[in-house]
Amino acid sequence: MGQSRKIIKLIAGILATCAGIQILGISPAKAADRLVVRFGAFSESITLAELQAIAETGEFPKGYEIYTKRLSPQQRSQVISALQTNMPVGVVTVNRLLNTRIGTTILSDLTKVVRRKDNAGLQALRAGLVLGSSTPQGLSVLSFIAAYPSNQLEIDLQQAFQVAGNFNLAFWQTQRFMEAIAPRLSSRKAELQLLFDPSQSGKAQVEVIKLTLNDKKRQRLLPVDLYWSSDVNADKPVIIFTHGLGSVRSEIKYLAEHLASHGYAVVAFEHPGSNAAYLDGALAGKNRIMKPQEFLERPQDISFILDELAAKNRHPNFSLAGKLATHNALVLGYSFGGSTALVLGGAEYQLAQLKQRCQENIAVFSLGEGIQCIAQELPENNYQWRDARVKRIIALNPTTSLLFGETGLSKVEIPTLMLAASADKTTPALTEQIVGFEKMRSLKWLVGIIGATHLSVKDPSATIDQRGKINTPVSGGEIVGEEAADVRKYIKAVVLAFAAQLTPDAKNYEVFLTPDYAKFSSTEAFPILLVTEIPTDAMDIVKEFVGKK
């Protein structure tokens, strides 16, 4: 999501490595020849050279029983990935993170893992991370080891596992919740007789109009891609896509092209205060990850775009004049964009509750929760960005838990489709979608895709950077590209069907918004569920896992 997110990923990777082989320590001047690892009554030591060899070969040397016999295959894979991962961030960026509350909390947790005879544990960890980031390649587990100031390093493996397990509590709650409701999930595949396949492209050829819209009042320059085809007409809603934090307008390109081929005008644009370009500035130390005002600017961006498109729609020289139904819009949001879409539908921020929650130990938060905490800097005012032109909302993996509190989502006034992925580490399904969905009072649908991750819905071109990513408690392990083709196929179908409910052809698409079609579309790798209400017995389990009996 941003520079702090990426550094936290790496620190979590270091912690995850501690949970596997516990390799922390040594400084350039006092490099420890051997690192001592304790696991109950067992102990072993390993040299830095051997750790470097593991990173190069992807294999553990013979004779190290803790690593080869006592760790699971998944843990061994996690350790190797951590050793091979490098994060190109500099000293200034790392130092800034470690001066924040979450950085201090993570350092404090790590001191429980590393045994020292003196009281310099936290300072030594800080020095290792900062000095480790001064290498030309940036911060890595190995550069951290090489910078850690210690002649001898002793690791408590069992304590490391306990600390690592505290990261991203909502994700682990979601996994336990999925295990608890598994017996209630039917594996029977529905048999349906369908007249057509909504996941297939339409017949019209798709074109893209490039626009740059300038909101002079707010000093916001919005780059826009307008997807359209010859079948676009005013009987179909304009669809506006709002992207996730630190991303680009092409992150669901496949879906924009699919909808446009069926006659919908799709507007994909970038929020200048929270897109990839802004993130690049943060990584370069030019700005913070995101200003709190971005929670207010993003919904206004969408209303401004609707204003601009309405004006162009009336201009005879505009190629799509008279064909854009800007009064009948659907907002499609992904991740942070999902919460933006919900705000356009009437959801209200609950900042007093958010500020209280963000004073807790946020080291246990998911990345999605941590980003929401940026909003605590906003004044405690009632912000209402409902736009009456928006008639429906689709929120893919949205962030909702802290922003909207107990009552914010109950204010949503229009039909909403929400998607949750069971293996999502960034916006865990239980806290970010399932709990919030139950609070909504409007007409609603919840899609759950078992086995999918946060990035599974994204265009393959937007997930190339996931290759070789470290798998940590807070990130990694993403199912993307060809592996997630079945997920994207269903997304194309259900989003098209949902948009069609705003057209004269609505009835022909109703079947694709049913539990039977979700089961029909399920695969062995990705069972799919669709509900309009969470069953009472399942909700009892939800309340148990989130501590709200």
DSSP string, 176-240: HHHHHHGGGS--PPP----S--TTS--SSPPEEEEEEEEETTTTEEEEEEEEE-TT--TTSEEEE
User: Residue 111's pLDDT is what?
Assistant: 72
CA distance 269 to 199: 24
Say which residue the tokens 């798998």 belong to.
471
User: What is the pLDDT confidence band of residue 537, given thresholds at 50, 70 and 90?
Assistant: confident
User: Residue 8's pLDDT is what?
Assistant: 46
Half-sphere exposure of 442 (CA within 13 A, CB side): 22
Asked whether residue 367 carries a pLDDT value surpassing 80, the answer given is yes
DSSP 8-state symbol, 413: -
User: Residue 144's pLDDT is what?
Assistant: 72
CA distance 538 to 10: 35
Asked whether residue 49 carries a pLDDT value surpassing 90, the answer given is no
Question: Cα 271–455–289 angle (5° rounding)?
Answer: 40
Question: Cα 339–473–184 angle (5° rounding)?
Answer: 70
What is the residue type of 207? E
CA distance 155 to 163: 13
Pair type for strands 153-156 and 35-39: parallel
Could you tell me the two tokens for 322? 């008279």
User: Residue 126's pLDDT is what?
Assistant: 79
Residue whose C-alpha is closest to residue 80's, from 97, 57, 105, 63: 57
pLDDT in tens, 296-307: 999 999 999 999
User: Residue 222's pLDDT is what?
Assistant: 98
CA distances from 89 to 97, 466, 528 (A): 11, 18, 39
CA distance 337 to 343: 10
The secondary structure of the chain in percent helix, strand, coil, rounded to multiples of 5, reads 45, 15, 40
Could you tell me the two tokens for 153? 């390093």
Residue whose C-alpha is closest to residue 518's, from 531, 507, 532, 528: 528
CA distance 1 to 276: 9
Residue whose C-alpha is closest to residue 36's, from 17, 49, 51, 22: 22
User: Residue 411's pLDDT is what?
Assistant: 96
Q: E strands, 253-404, where?
A: 266-269, 325-334, 390-396
Asked whether residue 440 carries a pLDDT value surpassing 90, the answer given is yes
Asked whether residue 2 carries a pLDDT value surpassing 50, the answer given is no
pLDDT in tens, 108-148: 767 767 666 666 667 777 777 777 777 777 777 677 777 77
Report residue 471 CA to chain centroid gap. Answer: 14
Question: Cα 239–242–243 angle (5° rounding)?
Answer: 135
The number of beta carbons lying within 10 Å of the beta carbon of residue 485 is 14
Pair type for strands 114-115 and 153-156: antiparallel
CA distance 440 to 351: 18
Give the architecture-level CATH label for domain 207-545: 3-Layer(aba) Sandwich (3.40)
Give every CB contact of residue 5 below 8 A, 6+ residues apart in sequence: 246, 289, 367, 370, 371, 475
Residue whose C-alpha is closest to residue 9's, from 474, 478, 477: 474
Alpha-helix runs per DSSP H in 375-484: 429, 435-439
Phi and psi for 67 in degrees, rounded to 5? Answer: -80, -40
Residue whose C-alpha is closest to residue 204's, from 254, 268, 257, 255: 257
Domain borders along the chain are 3-166, 207-545
Of all residues in the chain, what percent carry a pLDDT higher than 90?
Answer: 53
User: Residue 15's pLDDT is what?
Assistant: 43
Average pLDDT of the segment spanning 360-378: 84
Give every CB contact of residue 137 below 8 A, 6+ residues apart in sequence: 86, 88, 143
Asked whether residue 25 carries a pLDDT value surpassing 80, the answer given is no
Q: How much is the pTM?
A: 0.78
CA distance 331 to 338: 9
**Mean of all residue pLDDT scores within the chain:** 84
Give every CB contact of residue 301 below 8 A, 6+ residues apart in sequence: 215, 220, 222, 242, 269, 271
pLDDT in tens, 484-512: 999 999 999 999 999 999 999 999 999 99
Are the C-beta atoms of residues 428 and 368 closer than 8 Å to each other?
Answer: yes
Asked whether residue 24 carries a pLDDT value surpassing 60, the answer given is no
User: Residue 10's pLDDT is what?
Assistant: 46
